[in-house]
Structure 1
Amino acid sequence: MEIEKNKSTDSLYLDTLKYQEKDGQTWLNFFIKNFRVTVLIVIGIIVWGIISLFSLPQESMPEVKIPYGFVTVTIPGASPEDMEEMVVKKIENKIQNLSGVKTITSTASNSFAVTTVEFNADQDIKDAISRLREAAASAKSELPQDASDPNVREVSFTSTPVWTLVITGPYDSFTLRKYAEMVQEELKKLPGSSEVTLSGGDKPEIQIAYDPAKLEYYGVSIDQINSSIKANNFALPLGTIKLSNYEYTIKANGKLANVQDLRDLPITTSSGQTVKLSYVADVIEMAQDRKVINTFSLNGADPQNAITINVIKKTGSSILDLKDNGQKIIDKMGQDTFPKELKIETIMDQSQIIRKNINQLAHDGITTVLLVFTVIFLFVGLKEAFVAGLAVPLVFCVSFGVMYLTGITLNFLSLFSLILSLGLLVDDAIVVVQATKQYLATGKFTPEEAVLLVFRDYKILLTTTTLTTIWAFIPLLLASGIIGSFVKSIPITVSITLAASYFIAIIINHPMAIILERFRLTRGYIKSFLTVLFGTTLISLILTIKGSINAFFGIPLILIFGLISFSLLKYYRDSLKATLIKNEELILEESADPKKIKAKIHHHYLAETAEKSFTGRLIGGIIKMDKILPAYGNFLKGLLTNKKKTVITIVITIALFFGALSLPMLGFLKSEFLPQADNENMYINIEGPPGLTTTKTKEVADKVAQILLKEKSIKSFSLVVGAAGVNVSDKMSGGGASTETNRSQFAINLVPLKERTEESYVIAQELRKKISNITGAKIEVAELKGGPPTGSDISGTISGDDMLVLEQQANKYKAILSQIDGVINPKTSITLSPGEFSVKLNYDQMNLHGVTTAQVSSLLKTALSSTEITKILQNNDEITVRANFEDGSLDNIDKIKALKISNARGQMFSLSDIAEISLESSLTSISRIDGKRIISLSASVEKPHIAADIQAEFQKRIEKEPLPKGYEIKFGGLQETNAESIYSILKAMIIAMILIIGTLVLQFNSFTKAIMILTAIPFAVTGVFYGFTIMGFTLSFPALIGIVALFGVVVKNAVILVDKINLNLKVGIPFIDAIVDAAKSRLEAIFLTSTATVIGMIPITLTDETWAGMGAALIFGLSTSTLLTLIVLPILFKILNKKSHEKEERFRQLKKIAENLEASVL
């Protein structure tokens, strides 16, 4: 009676369950009978996973293949208008006919034109670049003769530096540069290094500064002198000569060796006399005309001159290996080569970010494993927790192996995906061990029989639930563009993990469950344990004696291990040995007689049910749901049998759902693309008036530096004056290679977040206030964003034909945008110009005087900038010789007009005799998109404001200020990316829905049941919207990914419940009882899998603000859906299936009556 009383009655189905011989005729039986094969598989998976893990390249973010290509062309001296007409339009005409082109963007500036081509996401980038190269080459014949060949290159997301160093010390800029070049050469040799660039310092050069008055006095032209210098700097092979049976080469060496050689160089004047070069020019060795200045400050110290070294990695190489090997080189050079006063500091190191992410995510992973293990242990039992927990390392090992084979790197998103899947991957294991426990608790089956029956009953269910979850993630691969490339590791990694968990649950968890149920402690286990313990003690002793382990830790460790070993050995000899011998006899008996193992297991579960033994509760689960099940069953039965309660429940559920949908519409639930997160790096960009000198620009930057030096949150900062620097809002730019004397940029490193009281975006807000009073330049504080390159928060382009009209409208819209609260750094692409000198050649006069265009061009280039004449080798260093005019000698336009030029006959003429020179206004650049001139407008958004709200407000305001006819504004940047991402997510949702419905129809052979199961999805969305609104989360792109993931996760619970109802109905359990019994028997499995998933999401939700929305969506959605699934789904099943079930039941009864009548007649 005791057995009958305590017999599991949670499920009426189990009472009718019987094991038949055919149940053992399955492929799983092979792994059950040959458990050593299972052990080998486990060992193989672990070895494969570990090897793959250490072979995976590691990086901070996924490598993104950007579907962009650049075409660049240069024409020295050409204006932006000329570059547009002569180059850009010709290039665009050739490119626009290419297939797969999405957008063509061009910029024409002084002497330079660049055309950016964006291809459709479905294009093969290598093929697209190849076709772009062919199209650009075909335009060469239509370009001016002095135009360079079109240069085509691919845009790479990995072409930005991964490691930035600064070199400082009490040395002049020449010496610092030489030290930096030594480091550069060594770092270039690293296998993972793609490019190593230097910025700052000085290179020596020889300048020849002509005096216009002396040139005129002696009657010599700069062309004549430059040609003479080139002619006197040569090394010419003349042939060979044979002497005394040896052949020698003959070389005429006329190389100039130093500055004095140049000064003494003879120049022939117009009168035929010879003078030295020094008579008409100052020849001096000096630093190159420095356009870029670098300084660096560490821990609040005054900024020092510095050289910046940027290291760019090769695609697919490991950042960690690159940094570690590079650091070894620098450390060795610091010891062996460099003086102690030379300092080399790292100011940006992506390997640190990777290590930080890996450590954080590893911590989250361990926390998640412990939490999930604890949940299973508390509710199911120690053995079951061990079996389910075993799935985690094995699944991860499989995932690492497949990631290595498929080329997925170990980065933040792939690690994030693994942690994301932690809560999901144990679901299958939980279902298997929980069901096995229920079957064994009946006392009717051996472990082998129970496992085979669970496999029979659950194989289709597990397959369906795994597929529905995978179907929710796989469509994310269809996300287009940069976003799709960026997030593709999420669906791949999660799908691999879920598929691996399915096979491990079946092939490994089943046999492991049998081993644990049959497990008894034997002498062999104790001896093996003692051997390991003694070995560990001995190794610890040896390592402590050798000094490999600190004695402070080593001695206590040896004492502890020794004490445990001694105590266990004594206990073994005194009493344990006899017990172990008895256990070995029982193992033999249980193997020979199935009744004995059944009795053992049944006795074990009776002890659990009785809850009298603490050990029994510890092993069998501390928290029991036995008291909850009857209450839940009675509550559910009351709902199902009371029509009024049923209607009220359905109405409340529908009201909650539509109430949730109204939250975004009413503005309670905000949306944005990527939430802002703390970042230890930020930038300050300074832009002065066009033409501002490097010295004047630095004066403004120095005022900003004084503010930064007082900030305790700033660890270090580097300053680059004379360059645009890194384009923070667009990572595709790859940093500023251009030299612009009116621009400068601070790269700021903050101290770690744990060492400061404010987040980076708060510090940025405070800095904006402090620098707002600095005049003389536009200054903006730019923050780095997580995720893929997306452009500015607010971005638009105004297109039309007239640049003056475009400029007026852009400035008007910029003023409107700047008035909106939350907008920071509003700007347009308009760059003012101080004007340009226009030189209109009179070709009739040129022909009359015998002067060529090349002569005029050479004269003006030397006069207005400088001309490289030749190079000389001095002390094994190649030094450039450059010609220009003395400072102040050409300080007005009249002096330029008076410049002398000579013809082939030696006659001298003024430049004004053959050309008209005037100062005119000019554009610095002309931008175009798809053949139309444009001016861009952009701004950033300050936290806590939302970019989408600000753009909506901006569009509302500019409706009152319409553009003239023929002009239009288009918005892009972050909001365009957001719109594309939402479209991709909606597309993924539809595809996921179709795949899930198809799978459900295949399993249940019913559209009604498939649609009914899908009601779990609106339940989940309801929870997400209410949870996000209450907790202040925004509906971001990661949150949308979380909602898509919910499709499969919440459907899994519904499938488990409906599948059990069907099983109950098949064995003849009454309709209402079948529903209630199924809900009760599946309550624990649904609760455990949902709790494990929710708990598994908590650490990653707290890890990163940018991606927290994904975990939060799963937490809120799954929690709400689980609750509503257990209450509302049974009601829906009753409503939608009652009539069909009654028909089936009547048909079954009629068939049974007919069979009885037939039998009675016979």
Structure 2
Amino acid sequence: MLMYVNVFSKDPNVDQNFLYNYATVNILNEIKRIQGVGRATILGNRSYAMRVELDLERMRAYKVDAEDVMEALAEQSMIGSPGRLGQATGQTSQTLEYVLTWVGRYKTPEEYENIILKANPEGEILRIKDVAKVSLGSSFYDLYSDIDGYPSAAIVLKQTPGSNAAEVIKKVKEKVEQIKQESFPPGMDYAVTYDVSNFLDASIEKVLHTLFEAFVLVSLVVYVFLGDFRSTLIPTLAVPVSLIGTFFFMLMFGMSINLITLFALVLAIGVVVDDAIVVVEAVHEKMHTKHLGPYQATQEVVREISGAIVAITLVMTAVFIPVTFMTGPVGVFYRQFALTMAMSIVISGVVALSLTPVLCAMILRPHSNHAAQRGLVGLVNRGITKIAGRNAFVLRGLLTAVLGLGVGAGVYFLLHNEFVHELASEQIRLTELKTRIIAGVVALLAVLTFRATFSGSDGSEKKRGPLGIFLHLFDRGVEKVTGGYASILGLIVTRRLLTVLVIGAFSYGIMVVNDVLPSGFIPLEDQGMIYGIVQTPPGSTLEYTNAKCHELQAICKEMDEITSVSSIAGYEVLTEGRGSNAGTCIINLKPWEDRKLTSKEIIEELEKKGAEIANIKLEFFEPPAVPGFGAAGGFSVNLLDKTNSGDYKALGEETDKFMAAMGKRKELKGLFTFFAANYPQYEIVIDNDVAMQKGVSIRDAMDNLSIVIGSTWEQGFVRFGQFYKVYVQAAPQFRRFPEDLENMFVKNDRDEMVPYSAFMKIEKQQGLNEISRYNLYPTAPIQGAPAKGYSSGEAIAAIKEVAAETLPHGFDIDWQGLAFDEAKAGNTAIYIFLIVVVFVYMVLVGQYESFILPLAVITSLPVGLFGSFLFLKAMGLANDVYCQIGLVMLVGLLGKNA
């Protein structure tokens, strides 16, 4: 589901029928015309209809049955086409021709009331109004919809494959708002109860915030290790250049900015800066050991380490290229992540061999005390030193802070300029957070540039002030750790057996931890919305279910974290099924920053309070982790009857046993199914012999019941540019209870009214409300969720175990939604990992022209993987798609470092 829009009215004179038809005529078609909208429907069928409600007692008195009414409607309310007078014949000609018209199809209740059923030469006429009441009503009354107590028309939207959800939602909102301004009557309004863009926008904003934080942290870490603002500026500049280049290639490949690609960019910041750091460190080393100038040192470095940069780029790219060929939902995640990472890494390699050397030659200074004393830079530095003396570093710090604040504030206010803001909003959907991030990045670059340009010579400031002391102590600490590591390495490097045993121990540890590490697929996240599924006892009326939904609404209104609740009685969202005992409440939560509780905590609170509602079964589910993969979060499993027996009672019994067995498993919660074979029913039993003796046709008897009780439409009419049907049915007071059948009559072949009780009886029994099938098999759809502390993989494994233990021959299970893809995926991650390792090994073989040297890289993987698995287990996390993506990246990092 892409969006859920409620059109409602606070006017007490407006009912759901009017809202449904208003939305159908004025809103629905406009939405369907929007590119990207794949399906737009209004739940239920409250379209206008002419309701002919029969008075069975008067019909019996006049010896009229339902078939007579249907024939009269078909005969008198019809479209006629008399033709044209004076139409050309090819033989004679005349000046004018005349079109004959006849308004034969009626449109108003009064016209239908005057349709003639019987007439005789004496002038007696029997009309429909003599035996029925005609009114403009609704086609069906099988669903009640409201929002916060106000009747509503519930519009559900789904997008076309490949369309941009955010853009489609934006266009829909603009169109509905336009319609509201132009034509909504007083008191009518609309509310977007759910749309996936809220979660997507909030997630993207959060990732952008993380992107900025990562950029700042990387800059700080680089500065701490390099200890020089000029050196820090070079790799810091490499980050935005690589990311901007990645955006360019993403556009070429038709990719979009989404959670996966932004996630890749966050991780790419730490990777792309490495190549630039390698170049800067190497240039510093040449300048220090050989006393070369920046230009000469850069030349030597480029000649020496170009091969290493290429090798690093190839190894990292080799990790991600194989996974881009994966298919299915997992492949979508891997492909977008891998392509984004690969593009950013390749661009960073190009930057390291082109832009970074140029910046080193231009920005870095020789390791002497005279470089900063020439030109304008020297003049400014001497001025700062003369003014502040020994405290020059303090003055430079103050100037840096003022510059950073000034530049950041200037950019911030510039982006808030009305013209600039509108222009930026059109291009990048500028928000307050994005404005702050842009201003912060520009301010940071300004600070680094100023400090790199007007810092002391030779980095001598490192020895002055608290910052210099900290950097000095940090360098000494790193040297000690490095020395200790080298000593340990010297002790074990000659002990080959010990090395092999350690690697073997880590490899064994990976298998042990992997066995106890819970598996998952795509973890659920707080999307700002919750489904409340209401199930009343079988046979409950729609009004009873609607009242229970309103009780749940009242409970939800008591919670501060909830903004609105949409109630739908007669519909359940899990299987999109219908039934008078089914109900769904769409609970809309406050924005994430405005509430303290998460969606899971709110569900726990609602479960406690919902237990007070009597005589219902109530479960809460979150939306699916990926919109379109299933109706709700958790898992969807189908119990299949493959016996071909057609015995739904047996399927019902096995469903009850299966549900009971699953209910005992601690890994599962929220088990729910609308399948039941115990709905109250009455079977009609006709004595054919008696019916024939009384001149009653069995077919006529059943057709008459189908009209009187079930309702049938005949003909129709056109209003508001829409086609509406004419329904014939007995008035409600004649079809309430089973005993009402005894008061119904059917006409026999002698034009006599024969009571049904003369040849028919009814027997009480139980059966299905609706028949569900999955892959053509009779099925019982079951919804559930992993219990707290358990992953979806553990839940699926538990269900498989229960099925193997309890289901007899001929019954089986199958999956739907994300559970289908998770069960199908199986151990795919292992094969992906092996392919990645082999691919990296082959690239290294080609790079080093040796089959032995790359083994040093490959054998370093068990240590890193064991640490990752151990950390996941300690944190209570599952081995899901995000974890597997991280492991793929880990292979590249370990290979690069090795």
Q: Tell me, yes or no, whether TM beats 0.5.
A: yes
**1 CA distance for matches of 2:6 and 2:278?**
53
Paired AA for residue 827 in structure 1: F
List per-residue Cα deviations over 1:887-920 (Å, max 9, x = no partner): 23244368369532466x9677677899887665
**1 CA distance for matches of 2:488 and 2:672?**
65
| Residue 211 of structure 1: aligned partner | 55
Cα distance change on mapping 1:784 and 1:512 into 2, 3 Å: same
**2 CA distance for matches of 1:248 and 1:280?**
40
| Residue 125 of structure 2: aligned partner | 274
**2 CA distance for matches of 1:941 and 1:540?**
49
Cα distance change on mapping 1:1051 and 1:233 into 2, 3 Å: same
Choose from 807, 829, 835 the match for 1:991.
Answer: 835
**RMSD value, Cα:** 4.5
- 943-952 vs 643-652, greater mean Cα deviation: 643-652
List per-residue Cα deviations over 1:599-644 (Å, max 9, x = no partner): xx9x96xx348955789979x9878746744763475256425789
Could you say what secondary structure the match of 2:354 adopts?
A: helix
Q: Is the 8 A contact 2:568 2:583 kept in 1?
A: yes
| Residue 567 of structure 1: aligned partner | none
**2 CA distance for matches of 1:847 and 1:462?**
99
Could you say what secondary structure the match of 2:680 adopts?
A: coil
| Residue 881 of structure 1: aligned partner | 726
| Residue 775 of structure 1: aligned partner | 614
**1 CA distance for matches of 2:461 and 2:156?**
69
**2 CA distance for matches of 1:164 and 1:545?**
31
**1:194, CA displacement in angstroms?**
3.8
| Residue 367 of structure 1: aligned partner | 213
Paired AA for residue 813 in structure 1: F
TM-score, normalised via structure 1 length: 0.63
Paired AA for residue 701 in structure 1: C
**1 CA distance for matches of 2:411 and 2:745?**
91
List per-residue Cα deviations over 1:949-977 (Å, max 9, x = no partner): 45656666777x55445555667876664
Choose from 641, 654, 658 the match for 1:809.
Answer: 654
Q: Is the 8 A contact 2:84 2:100 kept in 1?
A: yes
Determine whether 1:379 maps to 2:225.
Answer: yes
Q: Is the 8 A contact 1:674 1:1036 kept in 2?
A: yes
Choose from 592, 595, 601 the match for 1:756.
Answer: 595
Choose from 726, 736, 740 the match for 2:579.
Answer: 740
**1:710, CA displacement in angstroms?**
1.6
Choose from 265, 273, 279 the match for 2:115.
Answer: 265
Paired AA for residue 539 in structure 2: G
**1:658, CA displacement in angstroms?**
3.7
Matches within 5 A, 1:292-691: 292-297=143-148, 303-338=149-184, 341-380=187-226, 381-443=228-290, 445=292, 447-517=294-364, 607-608=458-459, 625=475, 628-629=478-479, 632-633=482-483, 636-637=486-487, 639-640=489-490, 655=505, 658-659=508-509, 661-665=511-515, 667=516, 669-691=517-539
Q: Is the 8 A contact 1:205 1:880 kept in 2?
A: yes
Could you say what secondary structure the match of 2:321 adopts?
A: helix
What's the % identity of the aligned pairs?
20
Cα distance change on mapping 1:540 and 1:262 into 2, 3 Å: closer
**1:316, CA displacement in angstroms?**
3.8
**1:884, CA displacement in angstroms?**
0.7
Q: Is the 8 A contact 1:901 1:911 kept in 2?
A: no
**2 CA distance for matches of 1:490 and 1:963?**
41
Task: Name structure 2 gaps, 5 residues minimum.
Answer: 88-93, 366-370, 381-402, 423-452
Cα distance change on mapping 1:868 and 1:367 into 2, 3 Å: same
Q: Is the 8 A contact 1:204 1:287 kept in 2?
A: yes
**1:516, CA displacement in angstroms?**
2.5
Choose from 135, 139, 150 the match for 1:284.
Answer: 135
Cα distance change on mapping 1:166 and 1:211 into 2, 3 Å: closer
**1:279, CA displacement in angstroms?**
1.9
Q: Is the 8 A contact 2:78 2:715 kept in 1?
A: no
Choose from 866, 869, 876 the match for 1:1022.
Answer: 866
Could you say what secondary structure the match of 2:135 adopts?
A: strand
List per-residue Cα deviations over 1:16-46 (Å, max 9, x = no partner): xxxxxxxxxxxxxxxxxxxxxxxxxxxxxxx
**1:546, CA displacement in angstroms?**
12
Could you say what secondary structure the match of 1:746 adopts?
A: strand
Cα distance change on mapping 1:611 and 1:262 into 2, 3 Å: closer
**1:245, CA displacement in angstroms?**
3.6
**1:186, CA displacement in angstroms?**
4.1
Paired AA for residue 147 in structure 2: F
Q: Is the 8 A contact 1:195 1:313 kept in 2?
A: yes
Cα distance change on mapping 1:255 and 1:545 into 2, 3 Å: closer
Could you say what secondary structure the match of 1:433 adopts?
A: helix
Choose from 790, 815, 818 the match for 1:945.
Answer: 790
Q: Is the 8 A contact 1:479 1:981 kept in 2?
A: no
**1:686, CA displacement in angstroms?**
0.9
Could you say what secondary structure the match of 1:309 adopts?
A: strand
TM-score, normalised via structure 2 length: 0.79
Q: Is the 8 A contact 2:49 2:726 kept in 1?
A: yes
Matches within 5 A, 1:187-198: 187-198=31-42
Could you say what secondary structure the match of 1:253 adopts?
A: coil
**2 CA distance for matches of 1:545 and 1:936?**
54
Paired AA for residue 750 in structure 1: L
**2 CA distance for matches of 1:691 and 1:539?**
62
Q: Is the 8 A contact 1:296 1:305 kept in 2?
A: yes
**1:411, CA displacement in angstroms?**
1.7
Cα distance change on mapping 1:473 and 1:547 into 2, 3 Å: closer
Q: Is the 8 A contact 2:639 2:781 kept in 1?
A: yes
Cα distance change on mapping 1:925 and 1:264 into 2, 3 Å: closer
Matches within 5 A, 1:791-940: 792-793=634-635, 795=637, 797=639, 799-801=641-643, 802=645, 803=647, 804-821=649-666, 823-828=668-673, 830-832=675-677, 833-835=679-681, 837-838=683-684, 853=699, 858-873=703-718, 879-890=724-735, 891-892=737-738, 895=741, 899-901=745-747, 921-925=766-770, 933-935=778-780, 937-940=782-785
**1:213, CA displacement in angstroms?**
3.5
Paired AA for residue 67 in structure 2: D
Q: Is the 8 A contact 1:981 1:1037 kept in 2?
A: no
**1 CA distance for matches of 2:768 and 2:889?**
51
- 421-430 vs 503-512, greater mean Cα deviation: 503-512
Paired AA for residue 430 in structure 1: I
**2 CA distance for matches of 1:613 and 1:227?**
104
Cα distance change on mapping 1:654 and 1:405 into 2, 3 Å: same
**1:1020, CA displacement in angstroms?**
0.7
Paired AA for residue 246 in structure 2: S
Q: Is the 8 A contact 2:51 2:728 kept in 1?
A: yes
**2 CA distance for matches of 1:847 and 1:353?**
69
**1:818, CA displacement in angstroms?**
1.5
- 195-204 vs 392-401, greater mean Cα deviation: 195-204
Could you say what secondary structure the match of 1:881 adopts?
A: strand
**1:931, CA displacement in angstroms?**
6.7
Paired AA for residue 854 in structure 2: A
List per-residue Cα deviations over 1:1092-1130 (Å, max 9, x = no partner): xxxxxxxxxxxxxxxxxxxxxxxxxxxxxxxxxxxxxxx
**1:388, CA displacement in angstroms?**
1.6
List per-residue Cα deviations over 1:994-1052 (Å, max 9, x = no partner): 11110111122222221121122111112112322333333333212211221111110
Cα distance change on mapping 1:622 and 1:233 into 2, 3 Å: farther
**1:499, CA displacement in angstroms?**
1.9
**1:780, CA displacement in angstroms?**
1.0
Could you say what secondary structure the match of 1:488 adopts?
A: helix
Q: Is the 8 A contact 1:837 1:917 kept in 2?
A: yes
